[in-house]
Chain A
Amino acid sequence: MADQMQLYEVFIRSRRGLDHKHVGSLHADDAIQALEYARDVYTRRGEGVSIWVVASRDITASQESDCESFYDPLDDKPYRHAAMYALPEGVDSL
């Protein structure tokens, strides 16, 4: 077990000012190595200006199968959207 490499998730910021986006994963012995592998695997053509690596086991994820009960109370609130409120004649910039 101990000599098995760990799984890392790789996130890349393609341009300054943008969010890091998930691009894939890889195996490495530690975080620094994961960063170097990520550079070699995912940014050979200038795809990014910044890389984050996160050990996959440190990610807590919601389950798609729980979708209905997890998001349920959020779906029945049309009033959260601006489109629900009609504007009077002559008003457009609101």
Chain B
Amino acid sequence: MDKRVALVPGEQTFQARIDAEEKIEPKDWMPEKYRQNLIRQISQHAHSEVIGEQPEGNWITRAPSLERKAILMAKVQDEAGHGLYLYAATETLGITREELIDRLHTGASKYASIFNYPSLTWADIGAIGWLVDSAAIVNQVSLQNTSYGPYARAMVRICKEESFHQRQGYNIMMTLMNGSQVQRDMAQDALDRWWWPSLMMFGPHDGESAHSAQSMKWKIKRRSNDDLRQQFVDQAVQQAEAIGLVVPDPDLQWDDARGHYDFGAIDWEEFERVISGNGPCNRQRLAHHKRAHREGAWVREAMAVHEAKQRLSNEDVA
């Protein structure tokens, strides 16, 4: 018997669309696993945008000048917007914002592990903008071609806004590297602490990635973790050298044959430890989010009451 007979008609159309590089839109039929996989990935992305505001927000009141403060506020404001675009894209898959926030709070849903590291000095704000946003951009550019329409369109919008993020971060590092010895040391120290966690942002090696094969077939993901990580390393090494920073990896070496940098082994035990809840700031990040959510409850309630009142008085007039 022909194997394809076993497929439901919707599934054939679905896979044919994906294979033809067409987008899947919210009202199209899609396999339940595709839907769940997307909910997991897009909401994790949304949570990362929002939780990522915390290490940067930590320095808004202590930015070294009014201009740097305004820039950092504008950046953090963008990240809040990115969270919103992505939550809205997730909601087109038939899940509510409340459920998504709840999953974050119970730990059922993850966010990028890098935000579980502390921002100890002003140079960390430079390192985050330069490295963390660069890594995010490498990933997000590839996701502009993801198969789910609302996600792809959100990525296009986000990528447009990101370039200022990495530039302002790099600019902080550059300014410090042009400064005193103490400032240069501060920049180098930030790079030393953020380099490896940035490489971990791309996830496990291709052979060990739990969701990769199916996600590639469904074109939810477009490029492999290792492929994206290599691109990031190649760019960042050049950028570090241009301003006199030293990448903290003794095995780092240009490989002429491959046309890429070779780099040292990533500490996957640390990655596992942080992702499973035991990084330096995991508890603090979640506790802060929960508290902010709780403290905002009266605003949401007041808005609902106001809306109901408006509606009643409009009905009276009519």
B164 touches which of A19, A85, A87 (Cβ 8 Å): A85
Within 8 A of A (CB), among B130-163: 134, 149, 152-153, 163
The answer for the CA separation of A87 and B163 in the assembled complex, in Å, is 13
B129 CB to closest chain A CB, in angstroms? Answer: 10
B303 CB to closest chain A CB, in angstroms? Answer: 16
The answer for the CA separation of A84 and B168 in the assembled complex, in Å, is 9
The answer for the CA separation of A79 and B67 in the assembled complex, in Å, is 9
> In chain A, what residue has the closest Cβ to B28?
A16
Known contacts A16-B22, A16-B149: A94-B166 contact under CB 8 Å:
yes
Does B167 have its Cβ within 8 Å of any Cβ on chain A? yes
**Contact (Cβ within 8 A) A90 B242:** yes
Overall SS of chain A's interface:
loop
Does A2 have its Cβ within 8 Å of any Cβ on chain B? no
Chain B 227-271 interface 0/1 with A at a Cβ cutoff of 8 Å (1 = within): 000000001001100110000000000000000000000000000
Does A63 have its Cβ within 8 Å of any Cβ on chain B? no
Does A57 have its Cβ within 8 Å of any Cβ on chain B? no
**Contact (Cβ within 8 A) B23 A17:** yes
Does B19 have its Cβ within 8 Å of any Cβ on chain A? no
> In chain A, what residue has the closest Cβ to B147?
A17
**Contact (Cβ within 8 A) B239 A80:** no
A57 CB to closest chain B CB, in angstroms? Answer: 13
Size of the chain A interface, CB-CB below 8 angstroms: 20
Does A44 have its Cβ within 8 Å of any Cβ on chain B? no
**Contact (Cβ within 8 A) A89 B235:** no
The answer for the CA separation of A86 and B170 in the assembled complex, in Å, is 10
Does A45 have its Cβ within 8 Å of any Cβ on chain B? no
The answer for the CA separation of A53 and B262 in the assembled complex, in Å, is 55
Residues of chain A within 8 A of B305, CB atoms compared? none
Residues of chain B within 8 A of A90, CB atoms compared? 238, 242
The answer for the CA separation of A89 and B241 in the assembled complex, in Å, is 11
**Contact (Cβ within 8 A) B168 A85:** yes
Within 8 A of B (CB), among A52-88: 77, 79-82, 84-88
A80-B164, A82-B163 given; name 17 further pairs at CB < 8 Å. Answer: A16-B23, A17-B149, A77-B70, A79-B67, A79-B168, A82-B164, A84-B164, A85-B164, A85-B171, A87-B167, A88-B174, A88-B242, A90-B242, A93-B235, A93-B239, A94-B167, A94-B239
Contacts A/B (CB < 8 Å), 20 sampled: A16-B22, A16-B25, A17-B22, A17-B153, A19-B153, A50-B25, A77-B70, A77-B74, A80-B78, A82-B167, A85-B167, A85-B168, A85-B171, A88-B242, A88-B243, A89-B242, A91-B239, A93-B238, A93-B239, A94-B239
